[in-house]
Structure 1
């Protein structure tokens, strides 16, 4: 199978050595998305602000790869502080609806970030 690296100018990029997304067949693997601007510069914010910016960046990467949040099958979430998990769950349910994607959430991690998310999704036109 051919491996593709979708993206467009609006896709958030990192200065680190990884692609925002990799597509193989109808699967899309999205690298960790954090609270960064289009150039990859970290945008520090409240926990809620960082979660929302990270998920919006995830949305942009998915759309540039031919998918969207409704076609996410698994997420991995990284929350720096245990005390933010309840707020994270509240915000998460605004972006992902039941039945929810498979999910892993790690806490007590990350350095300068409060939150990060990565995912696996399927292409929109092949999921139905």
Structure 2
């Protein structure tokens, strides 16, 4: 039922949330030797979430990819802090936009149920 009410936006919110965690992990491990930065391919992950019943907590294994660094470090860490911070900020804006849309949709449904 939620899928019909919220369309692709509920699944998108789930993927953006999971991506936020992956990007935060990259930033937190920026100085960890041999840490390999990862990211989530949004389209692949969205398809995975939409294809699974319930969608929440969907396995995104195939959508999680290792980042190829433009300037690898000597200790084997592939996190490039500026890249990760930019991706995190962009994802946060997209997450907030999706959340605002869903909140508006919930408001419409609530008003309709109240007969306003």
TM-score by length of 2: 0.30
* Higher strand proportion: 1
TM-score by length of 1: 0.28
Bigger Cα Rg: 2
* Higher helix proportion: 2
